[in-house]
A and B are shown apart, each in its own frame.
Chain A
Amino acid sequence: MIKKYWIIASNEVQRQFTYRVNIVAFAFGNIAELVALTVIWSIVYRSIDTIQGYTANEMITYVVFAWFFSFLTTTYAFEQNIARDIHQGTLSALLVKPQSYTRYVATVATSRILIALGIVLIQASLVFLFFQDRLIFSLDLPKILLLICMLVATYVINLFLSILIGFIAFWTNEIHGIYYSLKVFSKFMSGTFFPIALLPALFLKASYFFPFAYTIYIPVQLYLGKISFVEGLWGLAIELLWILILYGIIKIVWRSGLRKYESVGI
């Protein structure tokens, strides 16, 4: 059983290696966002000392780590792959085999990002080096372990969301519009660009009803020491709850999506 997924993973990594240019291309996009954010905040903090309790260094640290965490846990638009399977009928060949499609794509998606993950780690070390005077480094072992658990959970949430958005392709011929809107919304609500504490109270309250705040904002708050270890544990618990909820939704949507599936393209 396990061996099956190991081979799927190894095939996917091998496949990625056949696209060497693509691997390098990943590296460029990642960094552009961070440059923009740090430049903006550096300018803002020239005339002000703290914003909502964040000092300039805390803000830069926030932005750098939010960037780092979000690129560690992204699925790189995996929903497009699922939509392609559905629209082009490649799903058919996978459906007739004694395997679970959801588990299959989860394995492919996860191995697909392994190389990109390596690149992010290298990039991040360079970024940390570059900002070393302004970054706050505060880590101990329990915190590291908790952060790792949280980020794994974040990845799983992102993966499940990608799968769900991909499944929309059962009903529509195009998912780009939905994908785009949700991407922007989730980046905003998860605090990838700035701490959501800066948002109006209503938004802040609303954000706790979505999984997004727990995926980036809470882990970075934990790193900065703005929330306690126990609060961090709670954050992780809510993430796990969301994983369960999303898993249930995936099951339901998959079942009704299949009834709509037309296996087109001959």
Chain B
Amino acid sequence: MSKTYEYHKKQPGLWASAKGLFHREKLFKKAVREINFEINEGELVGFLGPNGAGKTTTLKMLSGILYPTSGEAIVLGYTPWKREPAYQKQFALVMGQKNQLWWDLPAMESFILNKEIYEVSDKDFTKNLEELVDLLDIKDILDIQVRKLSLGQRMKCELVAALLHKPKVLFLDEPTIGLDVVAQKNIRDFIKQYNQTNKTTIILTSHYMEDVKELCKRVIIIEEGKIGYDGDIASLIEKYAPYKVLKITFEGDGVKKADIEKYGEVYKFLPNSITLRVPREKARDAARNILSSDLPVDDILIDEVEISDVVRKIFSNNKLEK
């Protein structure tokens, strides 16, 4: 699947603007180049990538908002951009920076409208609404104008509006953007629980590492419109971080940098607490050697590199080997 946008360049200044009235340089941006993937029912997959990588564009094509420039996609057996009601009734899209709720009215009015649009029966509506409201703990805010709600409260209402018709597939585009840590965690916990109890297939984009780390077993890294990595979050670390981290604490006055350097690359240094990077296969030996040396070791911990470090490295390296 690929998508190309058309845009214009303008040199700075008034004269350039005037020239632009008559002649404009047409440019094309390939937002999504070649993206190929398959997602199974009930999976919770994370799209990761820097701004402008093509995550949102991909989601928009999958939800039928955009036509791809080339290629095809099949979701639940439908081609999304044909926008067949039978497909539309089975998925939902939540965009963290857009809202579907009626801004000037309480969220409840939007829920009632969605009930009609998605043709949800009275019984299911009452049941689903109760369940969601309970889970998100938003009973008190249903009758307040949406624009008076905080961002976190609004996001919860957005989720309710999107889930009332029990979609089989849920696209979440930056659902935690702009939220404080507590609100982020609430939304995250909710998504996790919802995915487990309802077996909904969820694709999530985010540039918050926490979201992806907590929620997704599988990640797809999109970069410059291409897939850089598609697989287990655990093997992502193995593949892109060929070393482990040793966190060692020392007793008394600690150690000198020179004494510890031979065991591995010193990443963080304080006399009493040192972080070393050691090649994956040598991690165990290094730990054993440090313990059996005469350094005043208090504690030693072998750990994986933080996933955010791995991703940061991937993003800053720009080019990904396949």
Does B65 sit within 8 A of A, measured CB to CB? yes
8 Å CB interface, B154-180 against A: 173-174
CB atoms of A263 and B65 under 8 A apart: yes
The distance from the CB of A103 to the nearest CB of chain B, in whole angstroms, is: 11
The distance from the CB of A21 to the nearest CB of chain B, in whole angstroms, is: 14
- In the complex, residue of chain A having the shortest beta-carbon distance to the beta carbon of B116: A4
A4 CA / B89 CA spacing, docked (Å): 15
CB atoms of A261 and B117 under 8 A apart: no
When distances are taken between beta carbons in the complex, the residues of chain B under 8 Å from A3 are 116
Does B254 sit within 8 A of A, measured CB to CB? no
Q: A262-B5, A263-B66, A266-B56 are in contact. Are A93 and B109 (CB under 8 A)?
A: no
A14 CA / B105 CA spacing, docked (Å): 8
A165 CA / B105 CA spacing, docked (Å): 28
B-contacting 9-mer, from A54-62, A94-102, A152-160: A94-102
CB atoms of B88 and A97 under 8 A apart: yes
CB atoms of B97 and A97 under 8 A apart: no
CB atoms of B98 and A11 under 8 A apart: no
- In the complex, residue of chain A having the shortest beta-carbon distance to the beta carbon of B57: A263
The distance from the CB of B47 to the nearest CB of chain A, in whole angstroms, is: 14
When distances are taken between beta carbons in the complex, the residues of chain B under 8 Å from A11 are 102, 105, 109-110, 113
A263 CA / B56 CA spacing, docked (Å): 10
Q: A95-B65, A98-B85, A263-B66 are in contact. Are A15 and B104 (CB under 8 A)?
A: yes
When distances are taken between beta carbons in the complex, the residues of chain A under 8 Å from B109 are 7, 11, 14
The distance from the CB of B104 to the nearest CB of chain A, in whole angstroms, is: 5
- Place the interface of chain A in its size category: 20 to 34
When distances are taken between beta carbons in the complex, the residues of chain B under 8 Å from A178 are none
Q: A92-B95, A93-B99, A93-B100 are in contact. Are A99 and B66 (CB under 8 A)?
A: no
CB atoms of B117 and A98 under 8 A apart: yes
- In the complex, residue of chain B having the shortest beta-carbon distance to the beta carbon of A99: B117
- In the complex, residue of chain A having the shortest beta-carbon distance to the beta carbon of B115: A7
Using an 8 Å CB-CB cutoff, how does the interface string of A239-254 with B read, 1 for contact, 0 for none? 0000000000000000
Q: A11-B105, A93-B98, A93-B99 are in contact. Are A98 and B64 (CB under 8 A)?
A: no
Q: A98-B88, A262-B5 are in contact. Are A90 and B63 (CB under 8 A)?
A: no
Using an 8 Å CB-CB cutoff, how does the interface string of B75-96 with A read, 1 for contact, 0 for none? 0000000010100110111010
- What are 14 A-B contacts defined by CB distance under 8 Å? A11-B102, A11-B110, A14-B105, A14-B109, A18-B104, A18-B145, A93-B98, A96-B63, A96-B65, A96-B91, A96-B92, A98-B85, A261-B66, A263-B65
